[in-house]
């Protein structure tokens, strides 16, 4: 019998207390009998003699299971069962009702009030123990799942509180110069990366009078800084630009903690390996977006259109704008983390519906279109949902997928999941609708290729052959630029061979 108890409580030695069973019956002989029987099987037993006491004991001691007689003084067992089912802290407490009435109607009443099982008196203690084991095993799994869910909800609530506090701190009135005050307040209040970068770069170009400016942000936490947004003439100029956050250039700029002319940095010999690439792209002004010693991003801009050098006052105002943008980026990152958690949950749900190979193929498709989107310089508001849509695969087009995505979008403060849902819907349309913004046709075409790639991989095609088939299937939506971006992203020749 000890082995059965050990099997219930888990393998190997354990310091966990044995399960507690609350026995509720107004007949003391029944309580004593069940206490002896259950105690012999390793359970802790507590008891109550009436309905009111049963509720008090259950709420105070939190038993693992209740054996509840139907006929009780003060409150009936049916009433007690209903009350316990309404307990917000543990509404799923396993309850076995016992009664001398064995009629079907009595059983139905018990189940209607929330009982998990029903035993008619007289019954065998061995049968009761067997049913207790079954319910405890099932309840243990369910409780663990709910515990993890509650922990996740608490973490999400704490993250939301942190984001709100950070937003409140960052939104405090700052004594900026008149030229930058309004823009700085808008940057601090932004929740969307595209909105923030657009306003920031527009203000930078207007204030400095430069032709083109770009905001570089990390690809991932601690990752390489790459262009996230570019505004102005000659957008292709910054394609392929990358700055290592642990390199000498980024380290020195973070230490300076102010905008600088690239020419004044040429006197530092340790920057010699990195400066030529920046100079070749016509960059004249660089500025760190730092907060709390962490580099949130990097601003790069070309020379002023009038040919004059940026004045000291210009750089001071630019520094204030960068400080506000860094605070805004930190706030955006926190909100983005909330959205990332929702997206990760959706991707995990999609993975649960298919084979293991499907998960690998969807990850390949997501990486492929992410690199292609970067080659096409798609804005983050399109490139981000594109990669996630590919990772979700065709599960996102099922009824369950659409429902889950709609629920997640309602909880997302950034709007990223709404953009994800829109992109998936557009890619599924048989006839291309009018684009809502530049770059959307590229994103839709790449997602259709990702769908074709996944289908080919499921049929056993290798990676190169799967992409070739997908591009053939989607030939009608692929122009030369999209084809070139996909081939560069896959890093295989223009005429792929069978895999």
pLDDT tens per residue, range 394-432? 888 888 888 888 888 888 877 778 888 888 888 887 656
pLDDT at 497: 34
pLDDT tens per residue, range 216-255? 988 777 788 988 888 887 667 787 888 998 899 989 988 8
The burial of 83, by beta-carbon neighbours within 10 Å (0-12 exposed, 13-18 middle, 19 or more buried), is given as middle
Q: What average pLDDT does the chain have?
A: 81
pLDDT tens per residue, range 437-486? 788 888 889 989 989 998 898 888 888 899 999 999 988 889 999 999 89
pLDDT at 43: 92
Main-chain phi, psi angles of 307, to 5 degrees: 80, -5
pLDDT at 123: 84
pLDDT at 351: 74
The C-alpha atoms of residue 447 and residue 463 are separated, in whole angstroms, by: 16
Token pair in block for residue 392: 């979700």
pLDDT at 189: 66
pLDDT tens per residue, range 84-98? 888 888 888 899 988
| Residue 384 pLDDT level (bands cut at 50, 70, 90) | confident
Stronger pLDDT, 4 or 47, i.e. the higher one: 47
Q: What percent of the chain has pLDDT over 90?
A: 14
pTM of this structure: 0.44
The C-alpha atoms of residue 354 and residue 496 are separated, in whole angstroms, by: 28
> Cβ atoms within 10 A of the Cβ of 440, count?
22
Stronger pLDDT, 352 or 262, i.e. the higher one: 262
Q: Which domains does the chain have, with CATH numbers?
A: 2-146 (3.40.50.2300), 171-333 (3.30.450.40), 353-490 (no CATH)
Torsion angle in degrees (nearest 10) through CA of 446, 447, 453, 455: -150
Q: What percent of the chain has pLDDT over 70?
A: 87
Q: Which range, 102-106, 116-120, 184-188, has the best average confidence (pLDDT)? A: 116-120
The C-alpha atoms of residue 81 and residue 94 are separated, in whole angstroms, by: 10
Stretch 310-333: mean pLDDT, rounded? 82
pLDDT at 173: 39
pLDDT at 140: 80
pLDDT at 343: 82
């Amino acid at each position: 019998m000890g082995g059965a108890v050990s099997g219930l409580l888990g393998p190997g030695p354990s310091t966990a207390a044995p399960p507690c069973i609350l026995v509720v019956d107004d007949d003391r002989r029944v309580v004593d009998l069940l206490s002896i029987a259950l105690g012999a099987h390793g359970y802790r037993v507590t008891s109550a003699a009436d309905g009111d006491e049963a509720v008090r004991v259950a709420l105070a001691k939190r038993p693992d299971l209740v054996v509840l007689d139907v006929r009780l003084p003060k409150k009936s067992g049916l009433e007690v069962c209903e009350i316990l089912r309404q307990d917000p802290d543990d509404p799923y407490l396993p309850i076995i009702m016992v009664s001398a009435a064995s009629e079907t109607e009595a059983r139905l009443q018990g189940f209607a009030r929330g009982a998990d099982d029903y035993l008619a008196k007289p019954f065998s203690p061995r049968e009761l123990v067997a049913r207790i084991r079954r319910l405890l095993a099932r309840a243990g799994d369910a409780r663990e799942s709910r515990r993890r869910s509650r922990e996740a909800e608490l973490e999400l609530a704490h993250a939301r509180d942190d984001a709100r506090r950070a937003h409140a701190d960052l939104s405090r009135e700052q004594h900026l110069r008149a030229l930058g005050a309004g823009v700085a307040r808008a940057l601090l209040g932004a929740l969307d990366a595209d909105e923030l970068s657009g306003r920031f770069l527009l203000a930078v170009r207007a204030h400095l009078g430069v032709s083109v400016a770009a905001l570089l942000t990390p690809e991932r936490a601690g990752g390489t800084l790459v262009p996230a947004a570019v505004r102005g003439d000659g957008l292709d100029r910054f394609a392929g630009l990358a700055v290592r956050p642990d390199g000498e250039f980024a380290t020195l700029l973070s230490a300076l903690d102010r905008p600088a002319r690239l020419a004044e940095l040429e006197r530092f010999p340790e920057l010699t390996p990195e400066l030529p690439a920046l100079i070749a792209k016509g960059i004249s002004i660089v500025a760190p977006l730092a907060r709390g010693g962490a580099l949130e991003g990097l601003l790069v801009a070309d020379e002023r259109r009038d040919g004059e050098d940026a004045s000291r006052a210009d750089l001071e105002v630019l520094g204030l704008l960068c400080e506000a943008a860094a605070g805004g980026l930190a706030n955006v990152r926190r909100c983005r983390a909330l959205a990332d958690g929702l997206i990760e949950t959706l991707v995990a749900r999609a993975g649960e519906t298919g084979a293991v190979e499907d998960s690998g193929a969807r990850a390949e498709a997501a990486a492929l279109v992410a690199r292609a989107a970067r080659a096409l310089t798609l804005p983050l508001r399109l490139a981000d949902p594109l990669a996630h849509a590919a990772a979700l695969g065709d599960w996102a087009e099922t009824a369950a997928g659409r429902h889950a995505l709609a629920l997640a979008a309602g909880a997302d403060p950034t709007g990223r999941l709404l953009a994800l849902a829109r992109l998936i819907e557009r890619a599924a349309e048989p006839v291309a609708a009018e684009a809502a913004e530049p770059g959307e046709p590229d994103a839709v075409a790449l997602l259709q290729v990702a769908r074709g790639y996944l289908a080919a991989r499921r049929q056993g095609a290798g990676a190169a052959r799967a992409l070739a088939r997908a591009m053939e299937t989607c030939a009608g939506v692929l122009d030369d630029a999209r084809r070139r971006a996909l081939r560069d992203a896959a890093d295989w020749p223009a005429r792929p061979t069978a895999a």
